[in-house]
Structure 1
C-alpha cells in the first residue's frame, strides 16, 4: 500500500482556478504551496496539476518529481489552510487556536509534527498568502484524521467561521501523488471537493509571506492598526481601552525644536544603560515604546496572533509620538525603542528560514510610516552573540515569546538584526556596544552632536 499524504487546503472559491493544469501565461498564475521546514530549513514548494483524466491531463506532469515533503508508509499527512483574510480578526484567532491545539501534544497530535503551510500565486498576484498547517503523522492511524475533523468543526464554530477544509494526499498506482480536498459539515459528514495531481514547484524569488507583511504585520498608518483593534473590541476588553487612549492623541503629531534620538537594539545590548546616560548628559526626557499607559496590557496582546499583537504595538508607537511631540518643545528627547523595533521583530517573525528570505533592501516594508513622527537620529546598539548571552545570564526578567525565541534561536536573532539594518527614512546608525559604558557613551554623544548639532 503506497502512503497517503498531505493536502494543502483551499477554500471552495479557489477550486475553479485549479480545474485543469494551466499552460502558457496561466501556468505562471498557478496556486502554489510552501511548507516551512523546522529549524529554519528551506521551503518545500509544490503546485497542482489536473485530474489526470481526459483533456485535463498534462503529459508534462509525468516527468515532474514528487515533492519531498511527504512521509513514507506507514506515515500519513494532512493539511489545512484558512482563506486569506489579512484583516480578519476571527480568522487570525482561529489560526492561533488551531496552532495551539495541534502543537499541544494531546491525543494523536502528540506524535505528529506540525509545520507551517502557505499558499500563494506563482506570479505574485496574491496580496497575502493563505496560512495553514501540514500535519505529519508517522504512524498513520485513522484516529488522527478523526481528531482533525472534530477539531476543525469545533474551532470553526467557536470562531463563527465555516470549518477549514481538510486535505489528505494519496499515492497513485505509478507512485504519483494526488490531492483529495474534503469540505467538512458542522453536523457531521464531509464532501469530496476535488482530486488533483500534486507536482513539485520551484521556490519563488520572494518568500511567499512577503506580500502580506504590510497588511498583517508591519502597519504603515495609524488607521490600518486602529481598524484591527476596532474589530477586537467585542473579543478583547482591553482593546477599547487602548483605542480610547489613541483617540485622545493629536493626529499627525509634529516634533518640536529639540532633537529626538531613538536608541534601538536587541535585549542585553546596553539600551537601558545608554539611554539613561545620554538622558543625563543632555538633560533630556526619556520615553519608551510601548508607553507606560498601555504596558499593563502587553501580556494580554502578546498572547494574541500576530495581526492583533502587531496592531497593539503599532498603536503604542503613535501614542509615544504624541508624547514626543509635546516633550520636544521643551528639551531633547531620548526614546527607548520605537517603530524600527516593532517592524524588525515583525519581519523576522513572519519570514521563516534564513536571512536571505527577508524582503530585499529598499522594500516598502522597511519604510517609515508617513503619518508617524520621525526622529532626528536612530542608533542601533549591537554586541556579539556571546556577549549578549553573558549579559542575559542572571537577569531573571520576564520575557515575551519573541524575546525567549531570540535567546534560543541564533537565526531569528540574525534576521532581527538584518531587518534593523535595512530600515530606511530614517535608517539606523550602528554602534558597537561591546566596549566599556564610558566609551560607548562617548561614541553615542559624538554621533548625536554630529547629526543634531550643539545641544
Structure 2
C-alpha cells in the first residue's frame, strides 16, 4: 500500500469519526471544586470566545493534548479507559493530567471519556509518549491544541495509520454553555446502574472469556428464581457508610424480632469481590447488581417464614456507583427524582430501608478501632470528604422505597428502640 492510498484510507476513517466528533461538546474537569470548562468546535473562528476566560488561560499553557477513548463497545471502552488512566499516571511530574469528556448534551450514552494532558516545559518527549499510547490502542483519539495570531485556540484531530500520525481535521474552539445535566451522568444508566436483571447479566456474559470467574457468578444467578415474590414477613434493609453501626444494629434486630440476617453481596459470591473490584466500572457494578438478585431470591424464600434483615442492598450498590461515576461537586449529581434513584422494578422490594448516620468525627473514631479489609471506595470515604458527601446525598435521594434516616450516634440501646418503633410504624405488626 503506497503512502497516498494509506493517507486516503486514514482520511476516510477520520471523516466518519470527525462527523460525530465535531458535533460534541467538550468538558474539562480542572478540579473537584470548580465548574467544568465547556467548549464546542467550529470549522471557522466565528464562535464566541474570550481571551480572558479560564478556558483560554488553561489551553494557552505549554503543550496541550487530549486523549480520549472512542469505542462502540462499552466494556472494551471502559477497560481501555482504565488502561489509559494507569498509563498517564506514569507521565513525568512536569505533566498535568485532567479529566476530559466529549458528549452530546442530554443524550444518554453519548459520553466519551478521556484526559487533557499539559506539559508546561514543552518537552517533545511528552508528545512521543502520547503518540505511543495511541498507536498501542486503536480506540484512542489524540488531539493537539495550538493558538493562532488572532488569539484563538484550535483543536487538531490526529489519526495514526501505518505507524504514522497525521492531523486529519482542525477546528476552532468556541465557548459553550453549561448543559442541563452534568455530562458524567449521561453514561450511568445500563453502564454502572442497571435497571433490570438482563442488563447486568449481559455485561458479565460478555466477560466470561476475559474473566473466567464471571461464569461462576452467572451459574449461581441461573439457579435463582426470577419470578420470586416477597413473603408475608417484613424485609428491613440496613444501609449506611462504614462504621455507622450496621453490624451492631443488624445483630440486635435479629435477636429482637427473631429475624433471619442476610447481606449483599451474599457469601456465595463474596469471595469474588476482590476479583471484580479490580475491574472497570461496568464489570464491577454488574457483579454487585447480580449479587442483589441472588440475595433477592433468598429474601423471597426466607420472608415466607420469618422477618428478614438485610445488611446493604440495592441502595448501597447505586449510591456508591453514582457517587463514584459523577465527578466534581455534590451539585453535579443527578437532580432529585431522577430515574437513576428509582428501585428496579424486577427486584424484590423491602418494606423498610434504614439509613444509619453518625457525625464525621465519631465515624472516624469508630474506624480507628476496626481492622477488617475494606474496598477501595470505602477507604476513599475516609480520605475524601467530597466523595463521602456525594454518597450520603445519593442515599437521601433514593425513592420507591426512600431511605428512612436514623441517627446512629446515640447508645446501642437507644438506636435499637428507635428502629423498633420505625418497624412498628412501617411494617405489618402481625408479622413482627
Scaled by the length of structure 2, the TM-score of the pair is 0.92
249, 264, 272: which is aligned to 2:247? 272
389, 392, 399: which is aligned to 2:374? 399
354, 357, 366: which is aligned to 1:382? 357
Q: Give the drift of 1:203.
A: 1.6
Higher mean C-alpha displacement, 69-78 vs 231-240: 69-78
**Is the aligned partner of 1:15 residue 2:13?**
no
Matches within 5 A, 1:142-157: 142-154=124-136, 156=137
Residue 307 of structure 1 aligns to a residue in which SS? Answer: helix
Structure 1: gaps (5+ residues): 1-9, 20-29, 53-57, 157-161
Give the equivalent residue in structure 1 for 2:146: 170
Contact 1:321 1:372 in 2 (8 A): yes
CA deviations on 1:92-116 (whole Å, 9 max, x unpaired) are 111111111111x3xx444322221
Q: Give the drift of 1:13.
A: 3.0
**Is the aligned partner of 1:88 residue 2:74?**
yes
> Structure 1 12/135 Cα, relative in aligned 2: closer, same or farther at 3 Å?
farther
**Is the aligned partner of 1:38 residue 2:31?**
yes
CA deviations on 1:267-326 (whole Å, 9 max, x unpaired) are 010000001100111111100101111111111111111111100100000000011111
CA deviations on 1:235-255 (whole Å, 9 max, x unpaired) are 011111111111111113211
**Is the aligned partner of 1:413 residue 2:388?**
yes
CA deviations on 1:112-133 (whole Å, 9 max, x unpaired) are 22221111123x2353311111
Give the equivalent residue in structure 1 for 2:115: 133
Q: Give the drift of 1:258.
A: 0.8
Counterpart-to-counterpart distance in 2, 1:148 and 1:198: 22
Higher mean C-alpha displacement, 129-138 vs 357-366: 129-138
Give the equivalent residue in structure 1 for 2:102: 119
**Is the aligned partner of 1:309 residue 2:312?**
no
Q: Give the drift of 1:75.
A: 2.1
Counterpart-to-counterpart distance in 1, 2:414 and 2:112: 49
Structure 2: gaps (5+ residues): 1-12
CA RMSD of aligned residues (A): 1.9
Matches within 5 A, 1:17-416: 30-52=23-45, 58=46, 60-61=47-48, 68=55, 71=58, 75-83=62-70, 85=72, 88-103=74-89, 105=90, 108-122=91-105, 124-154=106-136, 156=137, 162-185=138-161, 187-416=162-391
Q: How many residues align?
A: 418
Contact 2:250 2:311 in 1 (8 A): yes
Residue 39 of structure 1 aligns to a residue in which SS? Answer: coil
Counterpart-to-counterpart distance in 2, 1:62 and 1:321: 54
Contact 1:383 1:432 in 2 (8 A): yes
Q: Give the drift of 1:63.
A: 6.0
Counterpart-to-counterpart distance in 1, 2:38 and 2:27: 4
Q: Give the drift of 1:11.
A: 7.2
Contact 1:18 1:49 in 2 (8 A): no
Contact 1:257 1:329 in 2 (8 A): yes
Residue 362 of structure 1 aligns to a residue in which SS? Answer: coil
Contact 1:64 1:199 in 2 (8 A): no
Contact 2:49 2:174 in 1 (8 A): no
Contact 1:79 1:135 in 2 (8 A): yes
Contact 1:262 1:338 in 2 (8 A): yes
Q: Give the drift of 1:82.
A: 1.5
Counterpart-to-counterpart distance in 2, 1:413 and 1:47: 33
CA deviations on 1:416-454 (whole Å, 9 max, x unpaired) are 111111111111000000000100000011101111132
Residue 199 of structure 1 aligns to a residue in which SS? Answer: strand
